[in-house]
Amino acid sequence: MRTPLFLLIVSLTAASATAQEYIVPKTEWGVPNFHGVWRHATIMPFERPVELAEKRAYTEEEALGLEGAVQQKFDEANEPLSPDRAPPEVGTALPSLGNYDLFWREDAKFIPTIDGEFRTSAITYPNNGRMPERVAGFSDSLRAQRARQPRSSDGPEGRGLGERCLLNGNFGSPVMRPSIYNSLLTFNQSPGYISITTEMAHDTRIVKITDEHNSAAAAHRKWMGDSIGRWEGETLIVETKYFNSWQTMYGIPTDNLTVIETFRRDSNNKMIYGFTVNDPTVFTSEFSGEYALSRIDEEIYEYACHEGNYGMTGILGGARRLEQLGLEP
């Protein structure tokens, strides 16, 4: 009996797909190998633009158009300035150069695919791709909490954590987000542990492979929280909670925050990083999403945060001088 042609084609296609399935490399102790340096960069925003509503992904044509526009903007910004250009008019704002020009910045110029989609935002749930509404009364409690904190000019404790070189944003702490420069992450593994070191400010988070948090974690409240991990098949699932009370996530307190992260290799050069955020004292529901990390053959060099850091001394010294003069800093 002859096999129908369409069944043969289906069978061959399935066999070909199986043969091409990605085989995740393993460590000597048999778990997926994440070791190496990964770039965390994309032009995909964390939250979806409001006008896109529930549009989860761009078409390939739309994605290429966005990438082309970003490249064009980069090329225009990289054009040399004419020495004969006229000075800016009095009373007008100066060009938005900031303190990081293109020499420092390492902006992404692409949208990496995730499960074949050109995502419109990192957040995929709620379906509008945006963080949920805050619970009733949250704004009042946040204002009260901030009122109890030192003023920014009172002393070092009133300055930002990044300015004090203690913790630099959410580049290594959950939820890990891309940076405009120093966007590399180094993963190191040993039996029972995995560490993630950020190029930005050189923060290192250590994830212990275990089922339970340390009994002292709730009291110690470490920077970046207490992270524990477990393997489900070839996916690493990390739960982080018990954050230091001085730490915030995008300006939001982390006292009751729990973040679940997932890490899975999609190919030799791509890792899918997922996150789910839950804090019933802040958000009306949880939210979740994904980023794609790209493996590269580069090293991470030291980020000497405090080297030549005279800004804080100047700010606080100026505030003390104003106080001596009887003025409000």
pLDDT of 19 reads 38
| Closest C-alpha to 30, from 261, 273, 233 | 233
pLDDT of 147 reads 81
pLDDT of 56 reads 97
Retrieve residue 8's tokens: 């043969």
Spans of the chain below 70 pLDDT: 1-20, 91-101
pLDDT of 311 reads 81
CA dist 229 and 226 (Å) reads 10
pLDDT of 36 reads 96
pLDDT of 6 reads 37
Buried b (16+ CB within 10 A) or exposed e, 30-56: ebbebebbbbbbbbbebebeeeeeeee
| Other Cβ atoms closer than 10 A to 163 | 16
Q: What is the pLDDT of residues 123-150, one digit of tens each?
A: 999 999 999 999 999 888 888 878 888 8
| Torsion sign, CA atoms 265, 130, 101, 98 | negative
What residue ranges do the domains of the chain occupy?
A: 25-70+102-324
- DSSP of 220-279, one letter per residue? H--TT-EEEEEEETTEEEEEEE---TT-EETTEE-TT-EEEEEEEEEETTEEEEEEEEE-
pLDDT of 310 reads 80
CA dist 137 and 48 (Å) reads 25
CA dist 169 and 160 (Å) reads 10
pLDDT of 144 reads 82
SS3 66: helix
| Other Cβ atoms closer than 10 A to 324 | 8
Which positions ≥6 away from 24 have C-beta within 8 Å? 32, 33, 234, 265
For the chain, the average pLDDT equals 87
Give 297's DSSP letter: S
| Closest C-alpha to 265, from 290, 229, 234, 296 | 234
- Are 289 and 117 a contacting pair, CB within 8 Å? no
How distant, in Å, are the alpha carbons of 28, 82, 173, 262, 266 from that of 33? 9, 50, 21, 14, 12
